[in-house]
Structure 1
Amino acid sequence: MGESGSPLDPGGPVRISDFPAPDTLAARGALALARQYQSPAITAHGLRSWLWAEAFARVDGITGIDHELLYVAAVLHDIGTVTEFDNHTISYEHAGGHVGVALTAGAGWPAERRARVLEVIVRHNWPHVDVKRDAEGHLLEIATGLDISGARPDALPEDFRREVLAAHPRGALAEEFGACVRDQAARKPDTAARRLVDGGVVAKLAVNPLERL
């Protein structure tokens, strides 16, 4: 799979098999880090977010995506919440973004592309990311919006949503992420975590339509 990839037919059915994980050093390393340090529920959230992002690109007709970048950012976007990478002064998305920078440096990515990992991970917590400014950031933002807050639940085909949930179950995501973001908001009140909590993310997690599929 190249950086831009081949656009899929926006009108066709959507299946997990349409989106093979990139077989690259950075992608394999991202998944290995996620599985080593994150809980199964948080890692499954990252993988679902990647699949939602790829599917949103398809149904919304967004092309020219750096698929490897999107995968790495999606898999690692919450790694800044784990004890080993938590930072007492900066937001969890910035901390996780820097983990992505370190990983991709080891994989040989040039500095400009490494910086994009940080940008995409940070921007997933923005209220809105302009697709024309940052397609990968936009896709991760709307994908995590679906998986956490239940935004645009009917934008992707139900059969696909069920297939993804069967492959990567939600498990204890609502409880785990709710506790995590409350902790981050309490310790770092100037970060996006505070906005998420004040915006009712804990309640949104509990009533996310994906919980009922």
Structure 2
Amino acid sequence: MLKTIANIRIPDSKLAVGAAELLREHGDTLLWNHSHRVYLFGAIQGQNNGLKFDLELLYISALFHDLGLTKQYSSPDKRFEVDGANAARSYLQQNGVPDESIRLVWDAIALHTTIGVAQYKESEVALIYSGVGYDVMGENYDSISEEVREQVVIAYPRDNFKNKILPAFLEGFKHKPETTFGNIKADVCELLLPGFKKTNFCDCVLHSPWKD
């Protein structure tokens, strides 16, 4: 593993290496490369904007942020983001990490697809959100130079990521599509899951058991 990419250090503490080993064991190459790009793009944006943040916590958050999609960590009834956050919390608790740091990591993972909220929280939370947005949707694409982007992608290749990530998302929650109600992953189910119909919030209100 390279130590520094695009002037961003890859944490190599025991805690960070242990988290990376879990992703290696239970994830795949797609998630490995994506998670590292999320870390790097988040850290680069944080650095460019003069934010103070904990590199190790950011890295661990990135490594766990999609582990809820894997068979090892996927629950039958929770959002995959919460599964990943719970897995990270358990790992950090087992390693004696302070509660406040654990809360930051949990929030960073659980909120990484929550538009309009995550970007206003602590730096680690906001940077995981922006790192994901940058790698998945190209949000604020020109805020990082082509030269820096290339350094990241050479180290952690995209390899047709656009066309692979949506099926990978679906694979992680197709057994519980109801957990996508009210969040952007319902769009994945609508595109790729035959017979899926989004739950409509207005219907929930108008057809509630209340008589008024």
Task: Please indicate the TM-score interval, normalised by the length of the shorter structure.
Answer: 0.7 to 0.9
SS at structure 1 position matched to 2:141: coil
Q: 1:35 aligns with which of 24, 34, 58?
A: 24
Matched, 1:122 2:138: no
Query: Structure 1 residue 20 and structure 2 residue 9: aligned?
Result: yes
Ranges in structure 2 where 5+ consecutive residues have no aligned partner? 193-212
Does 78-87 or 100-109 show the bigger shift? 100-109
Q: Does the aligned pair in 1 maintain the 2:68–2:84 contact within 8 Å?
A: yes
Residues 39/52 of structure 1: CA separation in 2 closer, same or farther (3 Å cut): same
What is the percent sequence identity of the aligned residues? 23
Matched pairs, number: 188
Q: CA deviation at 1:146?
A: 1.1
Q: Distance in 2 between matches of 1:199 and 1:60?
A: 32
The structure whose Rg is larger is 2
State how far apart, in whole Å, the 1-side matches of 2:190 and 2:29 are. Answer: 21
* Distance in 2 of aligned mates of 1:39 and 1:181: 13
Partners of 1:140 and 1:70 in 2: how far apart? 7
Q: Counterpart of 1:177?
A: 165
Aligned-pair distance for 1:70?
A: 0.5
The change in CA–CA distance for 1:81 and 1:192 in structure 2 (over 3 A counts) is farther
Counterpart selection for 2:96 from 108, 133, 137? 108
One-letter code aligned to 2:75: N
Q: Which moved more, 1:173-182 or 1:97-106?
A: 173-182
**RMSD in angstroms over aligned alpha carbons?**
2.5
**One of 47, 50, 53 as aligned partner of 2:39:** 50
Aligned partner of 2:84 in structure 1 is 96
Runs of 4+ deviating beyond 6 Å: 199-203
Aligned residue among 36, 48, 62 for 1:59: 48
Q: Does structure 2 retain, via aligned residues, the 8 Å contact 1:91–1:188?
A: no
CA contact (8 A) 2:169 2:188 kept: no
Q: Is the 8 A contact 2:118 2:129 kept in 1?
A: no
